Amino acid sequence: MLIKRICNKLSYLYSKHILRHIYNVRYRNYGFRCEGVLMNCQLNIQGAGHKIHIGKGCVLRNTRIEIAGENHTFVIGENTKFYDSGRIRMGDSHGVISIGRNLAVSDIFLTTADVNNKITIGDDCLISAKVIVRGSDGHSIIDDSTGRRINPAKDVTIGDRVWIGYGVTILKGSVIGDDSVIGTNALVSGNIPAHSVAVGFPAKVIKENISWKEERIKS
């Protein structure tokens, strides 16, 4: 029990003082808790009211976390690994990026850029390199006849045990069901049912009633 209290205290001091010194973090009325390991990462966090939590056993390598605005939530579950690189960008206010437990990520870019915009990734996913997930277009498209914006942000939901291949782009409003596979260079812009394989530009389902395993099984 004493050892556990000492470890918890050291973790608290590390996240409060050492990270403040190493990374470009502006502390102003927000909570930052890191229980994992950040290797060659850059943090640029501005604004107020943010909640940032990197879970136990996480390892992030060469990752940029850029948060501006107010009241964002960024959470990574336990034992998730960013093996090569990553970029997280949140703008405006009240955005949420929630990444589950036990993910293996090669290289990913995640961005929310609108009020109440949310990206959710479930547990046990396998994500290859050059993957982009966008909850917003980032800029406004205006209907000239009304003067109104016609491209609002939409949430993105990726289920548990989803395998996302190299170069996949997942656009706003996409929902990918559990245990699905998204093929190389696919463009996802809608709903992909659970237990299916989707490929192409735009992505279309080519096989249903599937599951997948990380290990290679001999035929």
Mean pLDDT of 194-200: 98
**CA 52/CA 90 separation, integer angstroms:** 12
From the CB of residue 141, how many other CB atoms can be counted at a distance below 10 Å?
10
User: What pLDDT does 171 receive?
Assistant: 98
Q: Is residue 176 part of a domain?
A: yes
Burial class (CB in 10 A: 0-12, 13-18, 19+), 183: middle
Q: Is residue 133 part of a domain?
A: yes
Rg of the chain over all Cα atoms, to the nearest angstrom = 19
Selecting among 21, 50, 94, 139, the annotated active-site residue is: 139
Mean pLDDT of 93-111: 98
Identify the three-state secondary structure at position 4. Answer: helix
Residue of 95, 41, 42 whose CA lies nearest to 68: 95
**pLDDT digits over 5-47, tens only?**
555 555 545 544 444 434 444 455 578 889 999 999 999 999 9
Q: Is residue 94 part of a domain?
A: yes
CATH number of the domain enclosing 168: 2.160.10.10
The count of domains in the chain is 1
Q: Which domain holds residue 133?
A: 25-138+149-208
Q: Is residue 9 part of a domain?
A: no
Q: Is residue 188 part of a domain?
A: yes
**Amino acid symbol at 100:** G
**3-class SS shares of the chain: helix, strand, coil, % to 5:** 10, 40, 50
Q: Is residue 199 part of a domain?
A: yes
User: What pLDDT does 3 receive?
Assistant: 61
Q: Is residue 107 part of a domain?
A: yes
Identify the three-state secondary structure at position 6. Answer: helix
User: What pLDDT does 5 receive?
Assistant: 59
Segment among 36-50, 82-96, 161-175 with least mean pLDDT: 36-50
**Confidence band (pLDDT; 50, 70, 90) for 216?**
confident
* pTM exceeds 0.75 for this model: yes
139 as an active site residue: the answer is yes
Q: Is residue 3 part of a domain?
A: no
Widest pairwise Cα distance in the chain? 68
